[in-house]
Structure 1
Amino acid sequence: MTAEKRGKREQVLYSPEDVPPWYMCILLGMQHFLTCLGGTVSIPLILAPAFCLGNDNESNLVKANLMSTLFVGSGICTMIQATFGNRLPILQGGTFSFLTPTFVLMGTALFNVNKGSAMKYFRDVDNDGNPTIISFERVWQRRVHEVQGAIITASLVELFLGLTGLIGVVLTFISPLAIAPVITLVGLTLYVPAIEHAEVNWPIAILSFIFVTLFSQYLGKVQWSIPYIKNRKLAWTKFPVFEVFPVLLGLILAWGLCGILTAAANNNPSMTKLNDPNHFWYQARTDIKAQVISDAPWFRFVYPFQWGAPTFSAAGTVGLLSGVFAGMLESIGDYYAAADIANIPPPPVHAINRGIMIEGIACVIAGALGSGNGTTTYSENIATLRITKCASRRMIQTAALILFILGFFGKFTAFFTTLPEPVIGGLYFVMFGLITGVGISNLKYCDLGSSRNVFVFGFSIFLGLALPFWSERHPNSINTGSTGLDQVIVVLMSTAPFVAGVAAILLDNTIPGTRQERGLTSWSSTTEFKDEDFQVYDIPWLRFITNISWMRYVPISPAYQPSPATWPRKICACSQKDEDEEENKANNTSL
């Protein structure tokens, strides 16, 4: 259904099924590309220490290659999701949910590493735990192989949950109150890399997040007059530049200041001290990593298993499963948010099943390509939908194509590795703070006047912070007699979003509370939509399958008619107050 057909309720310029003019598709697609740019660029930089990548030229070239791989993978995954998945106008990119379990996995004894005296060699341990000297390439590739294998196997579980429709059963136990602490801790637990990058030069880092905050919050409503051609005449339109591109503008301005500082150091004899690597302002220079641009190829083909065959382990798989779990909760929350912004019905079960299945396939693709990361929906791009009021599916497909094409240009991705460390740190403060805020915003569906809900959220957050802290301070406290099982338990206990998510789901489904109190009523309300409105989730060229009788048993089919599952309701019956009694009380009060 198009924007015009939905009447007064419609507030978007382009609905998911609308096709803007080709030039608008390119402009809007480029806008979504720029919105996701900060997160996509930052993930390989955050992962670099876990893969033993430093700031030398060889390490920076590896970061650029990981970045290009993530661009290509994000483009492929977004195109598949928007075309064959849930068909919502959402962008799939690298996921921050996988970062914490990756750090925990790389911090286990098997992957402890100390730099040797030579630049390109490291003192490491082999697969049997024996000390050995191995090359630089072997060090980082060995770690990427482990993460690759863990992502692939863990993502198969997500694929299975979507394909079989079990995610629909899992949704019985999931409410906004369970999603909120998971996403909140995805952001909160990333304060360490933010500080590590910012502390090399706090003044530049502070300026970076001041610029982004200024553009996004204080100048967000300021609109620029932009000229365009209409009916062969010059016309003007208002555009909220600061609100749409706050991260990009903040990055350019902070980067530009560092460039001025670098030029001054190179041309002013009184500032030659800035050329000293030990000087406080040295890390703010823009030419420290410039060599990587020269070394990077103009064109670089990205293909599966480009770093070699992945390795598989139980600890890695189970550890990344916690990341998959957090990513699924984040994506489901984004599905509902995107549908709400686009003014279409909440996604039906078959669309969620298909979306999670495609996300599982996308994570397998990302793992096979070797980006060192998986994929999930980008909350930043959900915000862009609200700002621009453009929710066209074709726009997102264009953004996917841009991501895919630019990922093959090696010098393009190498350019972003030259970002000064303190600028990156300042951006992290804003981005990770935004993720934390997105997590907390899920509570808007819940009754925050309920002491039950306050307890569930507060206790889950506290436990999610406390248990990983204790596990880090007592790494050898788990001793089951099996090294593999010990690693699995340590990885799970050390992953804050997983701990908080399990606690929130258990408490939310066992402490008595109504659906309205838990946020389920407003989260999934469909009362204001007609049956034909749900066709937005159908795959157009496959609509004939709705006439095939047995397709109603296929969980990813638009014809899917799930039979009511009684056992989940029995399991969590203690969390459901008598809804009829509540309704009767309300009716009696009104009478």
Structure 2
Amino acid sequence: MTDAQPIAAKSPVDEVPPTGRLLVLGVQHVLVMYAGCVAVPLIVGTALQLDTRTIGLLVNADLVVAGIITLIQTLGIGKILGVRLPVVTGATFTAVTPMILIGQNFGLPGVYGSMIVSGIFGLLIAVPFSKIIRFFPPVVTGSVITIIGLSLISAAAGLIAGNDPTAPDYGNLSGLALAGGIVLVIILITRFVRGFISQIAVLTGLVIGALVAIPMGLTDFSGVAETPWFGVSAPFLFGAPEFPIAGVISMCVVMLVIFAESTADMLAISETTGERLSPGRIARGLAADGFSGVLGGVLNSFPDTIFAQNVGLVQLTGVRSRFVPAVAGAILLLLGLVPKFGEVVASLPGPVVGGAGLIMFATVTAVGIRTLHKVRFEGTNNLMIVAVSIGVGMLPVVAPSFYAKVPGAFEIIVGSSITSCVIVAFLLNLLFNHLSWRRPAADPVDVGSAAAIRHAAEPRSDA
């Protein structure tokens, strides 16, 4: 028919790569975020003095929930849950300190009861929160994404050199050389290789690093044989949930911060993929975060957020299909149900994971800087917003004990670099760019911000 309308081209986000490539790219996403994902149950379990077997059950539950929420975010459940973008979710570090404090005061039933209430709270406020996207222009999201990447670099340093400067093997030259070699391999592949191999540069670096680490005596896979093939923790493993008021309030604050983080990451992945975001789509992504709180509370896990390092991986590889991280979600679910597979990944030496992580976390920082490039600085106070928010956000990173004497409830907020940066950037943007009584006659509003807001809020058929 000559008058037929042309068929719209499929979005790169909805394209499905060939099966082999799909699997390999999915594995790469898992390897990039695995260490960060399992670090949360390890830190919380150790701080609450749980035994090794119990911590292992927390790790399994953590992977199961991360896999389920990643599948929901990438594939979606109708018009209820899921942003349908190439994102991977995992346990958020924002909840670590509050959960430890709640656990020390009220026990794990108090932790998981508070988490369930915060998840319900997140489900209820997802739509209202998505309506205030205009208060998250590039001057805010760029600052937050930058601080996320910068704060994660310290985690990469800890993986490479160790976390105890007094330990005899801290900063061991063999570990530093191995991590540096992995960084060099990834750079060379990215520079001189094209096509599929270039897209899996991070995975290739990890594999080469693991092989090199074997003759160096840095690997220990002895725990793999002792780990069972199948296993998952029962719901409410630690007893019926309890709901202490202080714990509930703390975790609800955490959920608000998770929403701010996820909103920034969704906007970043939207910029990377060219996929427009409606408020309804953002609300579905946030609702999935809220659901992770409920599901995590039932299955003895942790609230999830979109992982910035995987956003950086999408930027680095240029692979924008949401089905790639969907495969990663299925792998995470499998790892959670088959602990032996997870033990293999967990046995990778710290310098190997840290070397690859250094590039990924720095890439997140670069994405934030690129977002800030869209901000109008001339004739505005946006430079002050960026400077103060990043400065305040970096304090807990460069001086971890900076807020040691701050009251516990307040420390939950200011002790997190991401939380403090979000709050400061958000409030300063309101002060300088939204309070008309402070605005000079010349329009100081960031034109890049305005364009981003119109772009993000443009209605779509799936809104």
TM > 0.5 fold call: yes
Please tell me whether residue 505 in structure 1 is matched to residue 426 in structure 2.
yes
- One-letter code of the match for 2:200? V
Match of 2:26 in 1: 32
Q: Is contact 2:179-2:351 (8 Å) kept?
A: no
Please tell me whether residue 93 in structure 1 is matched to residue 84 in structure 2.
no
Paired residues for 1:76-91 under 5 Å: 76-81=68-73, 82-84=75-77, 85-91=81-87
Q: Is contact 2:119-2:255 (8 Å) kept?
A: yes
Q: Is contact 2:182-2:208 (8 Å) kept?
A: no
State which drifts further: 180-189 or 503-512.
180-189
Please tell me whether residue 490 in structure 1 is matched to residue 395 in structure 2.
no
Q: Is contact 1:36-1:380 (8 Å) kept?
A: no
TM-score w.r.t. the length of structure 2 is 0.79
Match of 1:180 in 2: 142
Match of 2:205 in 1: 250
2:133 counterpart SS class: helix
Q: Shift of the alpha carbon at 1:62? A: 5.1
Q: Shift of the alpha carbon at 1:413? A: 0.7
Paired residues for 1:342-491 under 5 Å: 342-344=273-275, 346-371=276-301, 373-386=302-315, 390-449=319-378, 452-466=381-395, 472-473=401-402, 475-476=404-405, 478=407, 487-491=408-412
- One-letter code of the match for 1:83? G
Please tell me whether residue 330 in structure 1 is matched to residue 330 in structure 2.
no
Separation of aligned partners in 2, 1:297 and 1:318: 38
Separation of aligned partners in 2, 1:100 and 1:318: 14
- One-letter code of the match for 1:171? I
Separation of aligned partners in 2, 1:501 and 1:179: 8
Q: Shift of the alpha carbon at 1:490? A: 2.7
Q: Is contact 2:32-2:309 (8 Å) kept?
A: no
Separation of aligned partners in 2, 1:16 and 1:191: 28
Q: Is contact 2:94-2:257 (8 Å) kept?
A: no
Match of 2:3 in 1: none
Q: Is contact 2:316-2:363 (8 Å) kept?
A: no
Match of 1:261 in 2: 216
Pairwise CA RMSD: 3.7
- One-letter code of the match for 2:71? M
Distance change (3 Å), C-alpha of 1:88 and 1:399: same
| 1:464-498, Cα deviation, whole Å (9 max, x unpaired) | 344898994564554xxxxxxxx322322322222
Please tell me whether residue 286 in structure 1 is matched to residue 279 in structure 2.
no
Match of 2:66 in 1: 74
Separation of aligned partners in 2, 1:444 and 1:222: 28
- One-letter code of the match for 1:461? I
Paired residues for 1:53-68 under 5 Å: 59=52, 64-68=56-60
Q: Is contact 1:168-1:353 (8 Å) kept?
A: yes
Q: Shift of the alpha carbon at 1:503? A: 1.4
Q: Shift of the alpha carbon at 1:455? A: 0.7
Distance change (3 Å), C-alpha of 1:386 and 1:109: closer
| 1:281-319, Cα deviation, whole Å (9 max, x unpaired) | xxxx323xx342122111113553345444544454444
Q: Shift of the alpha carbon at 1:448? A: 4.1
Separation of aligned partners in 2, 1:387 and 1:493: 31
Q: Name the count of aligned residue pairs.
A: 437
Distance change (3 Å), C-alpha of 1:25 and 1:518: farther
| 1:403-455, Cα deviation, whole Å (9 max, x unpaired) | 32343112101122323344444445444434433433331331244551111
Q: Is contact 1:105-1:315 (8 Å) kept?
A: no
Paired residues for 1:110-121 under 5 Å: 111=104
Match of 1:562 in 2: none
Distance change (3 Å), C-alpha of 1:450 and 1:414: farther
Distance change (3 Å), C-alpha of 1:206 and 1:503: same
Match of 1:239 in 2: 195
Separation of aligned partners in 2, 1:394 and 1:417: 25
2:85 counterpart SS class: coil
Q: Is contact 2:44-2:99 (8 Å) kept?
A: no
Rg comparison, structure with higher value: 1
Please tell me whether residue 159 in structure 1 is matched to residue 123 in structure 2.
yes
Distance change (3 Å), C-alpha of 1:45 and 1:349: closer
Gaps of 5+ in 2: 1-5, 163-169, 434-438
Q: Is contact 1:150-1:316 (8 Å) kept?
A: yes
Q: Shift of the alpha carbon at 1:330? A: 3.1
Identity %: 21
| 1:105-131, Cα deviation, whole Å (9 max, x unpaired) | 53x5984xxxxxxxxxxxxxx86xxxx
Please tell me whether residue 41 in structure 1 is matched to residue 35 in structure 2.
yes
Separation of aligned partners in 2, 1:474 and 1:384: 33
Point out which structure has higher relative CO (alpha carbons under 8 A, 6+ apart). Answer: 2
Match of 2:167 in 1: none
Separation of aligned partners in 2, 1:321 and 1:330: 14
Q: Shift of the alpha carbon at 1:101? A: 4.5
Separation of aligned partners in 1, 2:328 and 2:416: 32
1:260 counterpart SS class: coil
Paired residues for 1:11-22 under 5 Å: 15-18=12-15
- One-letter code of the match for 1:36? V
Q: Is contact 1:17-1:392 (8 Å) kept?
A: yes
- One-letter code of the match for 2:29? T
Distance change (3 Å), C-alpha of 1:252 and 1:392: closer
Q: Is contact 1:145-1:307 (8 Å) kept?
A: yes
1:416 counterpart SS class: helix
Q: Is contact 1:16-1:89 (8 Å) kept?
A: yes
Q: Is contact 2:199-2:319 (8 Å) kept?
A: no
TM-score w.r.t. the length of structure 1 is 0.64
| 1:187-241, Cα deviation, whole Å (9 max, x unpaired) | 4345555444414343244234423432443431433xxxxxxxxxxxxxx6242
